[in-house]
A and B are shown apart, each in its own frame.
Chain A
Amino acid sequence: MNTNNRIKSTTDTISAKLKILAREKENVRQKLIITARRLALTAKEKEIVRRKLLVTAKQLAANAEKIAQANTYARSLIEVSLDPLVTISPKGKITDVNEATIKVTGVSRQKLIGTDFSKYFTEPKKALAGYKKVFREGSVTDYPLTIRSETGKLTNVLYNASVYKDDKGIVLGVFAAARDYTRAKKANELLAVTAKQLAVAAKEKEDVRRRLVVTAKEKESIRRTLAVTASKLKKSHLTLEEKVLGRTKDLEQIRSKHEAILTSIGDGLVVVDKEGKITYINKTFEEMLGWKPKEILGKTMVDVVPREDMHGVGVSFKERILTQVLGGQKFVVDLTNPFYYIRKDKSRFPASSIVAPVVLNKKIVGAVEVFRDITKEKEIDKAKTEFVSLASHQLRTPLSTVNWYTEMLLSGDVGEVTLEQKNYLEEIYNGNQRMVDLVNTLLDVSRIELGTFFVDSKPTDVVKLTQSVMSEQQPQVDEKNIKLSSSFENNIPMIHTDPKLLRMVLQNLLSNAIKYTPDAGAIALSLSLDTKKNVLLKITDTGYGIPADQQDKIFTKLFRADNVIGKDTEGTGLGLYIAKSIIEQSGGKLWFESEEHKGTVFYATLPLERRKKERAS
């Protein structure tokens, strides 16, 4: 053993010991680390738990908040409910109410809570029974009760109620909700009333229905009668229909016949409205005047077709017969007064026409004019007049023979005749003279009609001429003891006229006055100047007059009034016709006023101005 060994041993020992110690120390350190670790872990766990706790607390707080919110929400729901809500304990005491309950009962919340539920109803027993039923069965629905408020007001309600339990299933109480059905009840009552009314109405309806049934029966019988009538009607209708059809056919035929007549009528036909505008013309109109309907329909007839008189002078609108007829004149036959119609191409033809108004409901709505081309008639008329003229001329020769032989006998050229023979010869002579006059008159008429009157106009003293005619007829005036007077206006100038023709007029008018005035009557003759530059001749008599109904014919050729035919057998009925023709041809007018048994006034005008258009053929 060396020290070193020892030391070494010792050192070894010590080192060994130290090693052991270090090991132990390491163990402890290790243990300590573990413990420390453990401790650290525990702290950590503790912290986690703490945190968990914190979280839980927070959650709890939040939950509490939520619960409080839910409670408030539930509460407010309960409070705002219009239906009375109430909770009742198992012993029947009110544990809570809402505002609606307070309102309906009229009792405050404090007073309500803890009181018997059933005491607030008109039938507490029924209320009690209902609440027991809830406990027994768990719920009731529409349980009818009537709440009586403190003021006595009744509210009809229907209860829905159910029990509520805790989480272990133990019943805690009843929740009951009432529904006010007063309004519904009223509505029901209203319904009941309405129902009654409906019933009444139904009854009335029934009555009506019954009546209707009766009516229906009557109706049925009427229907049957009607059916019979109907079938009769149907039969007659069929007959009627046939008749109508037949009639329509007839009418159609008549219409087309009329149309055909109008179209093919040989006379020109024109229909005008009340303004004189053309509304219809027939085919002959077209052919005669050269106008087509489309050219003149709607135009004024008087403008479209001008008219000229026989002297070729245009007839004014006013003078047109059509105008006069539309103006209210009844009916105008214009056959005796021929005229010329002017065609579209300005040529003309002689025509005569008849114009009649179209009267509807007593109003003139238009006029119809029918006119004819009288060229042929005029030719025939001319031939007739020429025949009369020729015959008259020829008659004159034997008349002259009788005249002159009688004259010779009377004048004693062929020896003396006895007085008696002379008287006989004078009768022959006078009779022959009358025949000569008649023939001359006929010749005058034919001259007028042929337009061959020889007019030899010259300045003529009318006053002198008149006086001459008066003195010529003085013997006849004296014979009838008639008072003939005359008056002549001063300063009547000479007028340009044919004295021979004017003499004829004066002779005619004066001899008529004498002939048709009874013995001891009066005739007044005057000449004056009128305002229109005419000499006016006026012959007034106190004679028989012209009957009113014959006055329009007095200027007609060969016409003689009834009242004088028996009084004078010599008249020819030609004098006034000739006189009028002469006066009118010289531009004057001849007319009269007369009253039977009182007398007649004849007027004639003689123009002072020389006539422009004088017919001298």
Chain B
Amino acid sequence: MKPTSTNRTILLIEDERPLVSVIKAKLINAGFDVVTARTIDQGLGYMEDIEAIEAVWLDHYLPGNKTGLDFIATLKAPGSKWVNAPVFVVSNTASDANLRTYLRLGVTKYFVKAEHRLDEISNDIKTFLDSEQE
């Protein structure tokens, strides 16, 4: 893909087209390389194909019969090579119960879309990855 880039690569799994555009724009502005996926399977495929992916921006409800939880379950399954991959769930629709499950399964942070500015989220992701690197 872009092996020469020093930018961090982030996988954006989101199905809402206008949101994908604005998030992608924001993340690129913030210095990320962005890979976008519309479904869980697509996302998992990118995870397999693109080793450079350092973080995942994950929505909960997605087209098809899989949700963000299925993605996390695969990623964090025992013996998975992505156990330590940081995942940021950014969703409007997950219930409290799902939220707890996400946290239990080991997502890095959970954001309610409507309650956070894009600035905030991208800064949080950046800060987290920086601290990981140290």
Decide yes or no whether B97 CB sits under 8 A from chain A.
yes
B22 contacts the other chain (CB 8 A): yes
Is there contact, CB below 8 Å, between A440 and B99? Answer: no
Contacting pair A397 B16 (CB below 8 A)? yes
Which of A18-26, A93-101, A275-283, A402-410 participates in binding chain B? A402-410
Q: How far is the CA of A447 from the CA of B96 in the complex (A)?
A: 9
Chain B min CB distance to A269 (Å): 40
Among the 9-residue stretches B33-41, B49-57, B68-76, B110-118, the one with 4 or more Cβ atoms under 8 Å from chain A is B110-118
User: Using a Cβ cutoff of 8 Å, how many contacts connect chains A and B?
Assistant: 60
A403 to B120, CA, bound (A): 13
Q: Which residues of A contact B113 (CB under 8 A)?
A: 396-397, 400
Q: Is B26 an interface residue (CB 8 A)?
A: yes
- The minimal Cβ–Cβ distance linking A385 to chain B, given in whole angstroms, is 13
Interface residues of B in 20-61 (CB under 8 A from A): 22-23, 25-26, 29
Tell yes or no: B1 within 8 A of A by CB: no
User: Please, which residues of chain B bring their CB within 8 A of the CB of A396?
Assistant: 92-93, 112-114
Q: Is A454 part of the contact surface with B, judged by Cβ < 8 Å?
A: yes
* Residue in A393, A394, A401, A452 whose beta carbon sits within 8 Å of that of B18 in the complex: A401
Interface on chain B toward A: helix, strand, loop, or mixed SS? helix
- Cα distance A393–B16 in the bound complex, in angstroms: 14
Interface residues of A in 396-440 (CB under 8 A from B): 396-397, 399-401, 403-405, 407-408, 411, 413-414, 436, 439-440
Interface size on A, residues (CB 8 A): 23
In whole angstroms, what is the CA distance A285 to B131 when docked?
67
B 91-121 contacts with A by CB, 8 A: 92-93, 95-97, 99-100, 112-115, 117-119
Name the distance in Å between B30's Cβ and chain A's nearest Cβ: 9
Beyond A396-B92, A408-B25, whether A439 also contacts B97 by CB under 8 A is: no
What are the residues of chain B within 8 A of A454 when measuring CB–CB?
A: 96-97, 99-100
Which residues of A line the B interface, CB within 8 A? Answer: 393-394, 396-397, 399-401, 403-405, 407-408, 411, 413-414, 436, 439-440, 447, 452-454, 617
Point out residues on B near A: beta carbons under 8 Å: 16, 18-19, 22-23, 25-26, 29, 92-93, 95-97, 99-100, 112-115, 117-119
17 extra interface residue pairs, beta carbon distance < 8 Å, beyond A404-B26, A408-B26, A414-B25:
A394-B93, A396-B93, A399-B114, A401-B18, A401-B19, A401-B22, A403-B114, A404-B118, A407-B118, A408-B118, A413-B26, A439-B114, A440-B114, A452-B95, A452-B97, A454-B96, A454-B97
